[in-house]
Structure 1
């Protein structure tokens, strides 16, 4: 029989957080093990209790706040929101900070390179060695035919391809990063315009003949189009840090038993 770990009682300034409450909270903290989930849930409820106690001390009452979807918050949730709004301050992102972030993370603000893709799919399961081998042989024959006469691509796609793109001569349209399986993408983006890959490309869908078409190289997105998103990101990050620091101060002033809260950057902060 597996050993059952007995968790110690958890309390904040002498106020016990029941095992039942922690058990309910556990469902919000998926983890690799039951003990890890329990500890995460216990820490979240400790942070919550710290905030409720501070709202009580400051006599902060519910102000009828609503969530992002317009639903009225429960009384304790509303009091916590009001407390954080009153006690936690963080600056708005200024133009210099936004500009610096934009320049340091230029790759985040570049449109993806797009490559027009043509392919012929010889369908076979990688688990079926015989079928996969035959499909690879058929793909090699198609590649040899295309090297002799590139203009036959649409004809061969219509005749052999197991992909619906066969009706468009094998043309998949413009493909961006992450839109295809890695094996296909690695080959496609390494080809020049109009270049046929000289070897069959194997994926979980089967064996492909791949030719690249027109390439549209990604370009830098102007700052004015992403300024608001950058400001929102920076301000949300600043807010999370400020709340984490505020919780750390509250925790340092409290007597917490039964769980190691570690840093204050917990689920409630997120």
Structure 2
């Protein structure tokens, strides 16, 4: 009975053993690699996938003569191998123009807003209801008398910008916290916004003084960036296909390798 149990455990151990074409990747190596994937949902699986890809590339580099039998693969050898077996052609100008035409919304100058604000900060332990009530009272006053905005900013705002009438200057997307940005760029009118803007910093009264909508950029000014994007996209797909081919031709144990599941090769 004890012998049967030991045999069963031994079979289970071999079933879980990770190997590529007979080359075993040990548990200690997997644990060490898993430390580099602590942020993944399954660090052990991520480590196994990374080590299998590395071993596949190592064996292929040795087969092509790029790597000596007793040498460890490095980034330079990987780059040479991919350049030799996974070349990525540059996209043509016509391909770049087609992408530009199909994605014109991506290629425009940024929307710009000139704005002021009054911040009613929420310090730790503060009574939110009373601060909100004070902010709403000031908002109602400014909706009736927007010309008083700078004076109220100077006397009430908890932001240093209050000393310059709440002036935030020129804003574009990505320069403020998401809640504030959504309120400012989500509207189309100018003047004092009708509602308070709640952010992690507190309650804001916002006045939009001017809006400048972004304009389409000419193809010539974005041609090179489109070319780089398409080249990187094609390279990524080409590497996925290359790894899929290597995996399909290899004898793998301890993993079902799917290169579509994530960026196996950085």
Are 1:10 and 2:8 counterparts? Answer: no
In the alignment, what sits opposite 1:81? 79
1:165 Cα offset (Å): 0.6
The 8 Å contact of residues 40 and 46 in structure 2, kept in 1 or not, is answered as no
The 8 Å contact of residues 48 and 268 in structure 1, kept in 2 or not, is answered as no
Q: Helix, strand or coil: the match of 2:16? A: coil
Deviations 1:199-247 (A, max 9, x none): 3333332222211111111111222222112111111111121122122
Q: How do 1:199-214 residues align onto structure 2 when only pairs under 5 Å count?
A: 199-214=195-210
User: Alignment RMSD, CA only?
Assistant: 2.5
In the alignment, what sits opposite 1:21? 29
1:99 Cα offset (Å): 1.0
Determine which structure has the larger helix proportion and give its number: 2
Deviations 1:115-164 (A, max 9, x none): 11111112235964xx3222223223323433443322111111111111
The 8 Å contact of residues 44 and 267 in structure 1, kept in 2 or not, is answered as no
Deviations 1:7-50 (A, max 9, x none): 811111111112222222112323455xx211221122112111
The 8 Å contact of residues 13 and 256 in structure 1, kept in 2 or not, is answered as yes
In the alignment, what sits opposite 1:101? 99
In the alignment, what sits opposite 1:65? none
Q: How do 1:212-223 residues align onto structure 2 when only pairs under 5 Å count?
A: 212-223=208-219
Please give the alpha-carbon distance, in whole angstroms, between the structure 2 residues aligned to 1:227 and 1:38.
42
Q: Helix, strand or coil: the match of 2:203? A: strand
The 8 Å contact of residues 244 and 258 in structure 2, kept in 1 or not, is answered as no
Please give the alpha-carbon distance, in whole angstroms, between the structure 1 residues aligned to 2:182 and 2:264.
40
Q: How do 1:136-147 residues align onto structure 2 when only pairs under 5 Å count?
A: 136-147=132-143
Please give the alpha-carbon distance, in whole angstroms, between the structure 2 residues aligned to 1:183 and 1:246.
43
Please give the alpha-carbon distance, in whole angstroms, between the structure 2 residues aligned to 1:175 and 1:95.
34
1:92 Cα offset (Å): 1.0
Provide structure 1 residue ranges, at least 5 long, that are not aligned to the other structure. 63-73
Q: How do 1:93-132 residues align onto structure 2 when only pairs under 5 Å count?
A: 93-125=91-123, 128=126, 131-132=127-128
Are 1:179 and 2:175 counterparts? Answer: yes
Please give the alpha-carbon distance, in whole angstroms, between the structure 2 residues aligned to 1:87 and 1:254.
17
With normalisation by structure 2, the TM-score equals 0.83
1:192 Cα offset (Å): 1.6
The 8 Å contact of residues 245 and 264 in structure 1, kept in 2 or not, is answered as no
Please give the alpha-carbon distance, in whole angstroms, between the structure 2 residues aligned to 1:209 and 1:265.
45
In the alignment, what sits opposite 1:197? 193
Please give the alpha-carbon distance, in whole angstroms, between the structure 2 residues aligned to 1:198 and 1:44.
53
Q: Helix, strand or coil: the match of 1:199? A: coil
* Greater displacement, 199-208 / 49-58: 199-208
Please give the alpha-carbon distance, in whole angstroms, between the structure 1 residues aligned to 2:143 and 2:39.
53
Provide structure 2 residue ranges, at least 5 long, that are not aligned to the other structure. 1-11
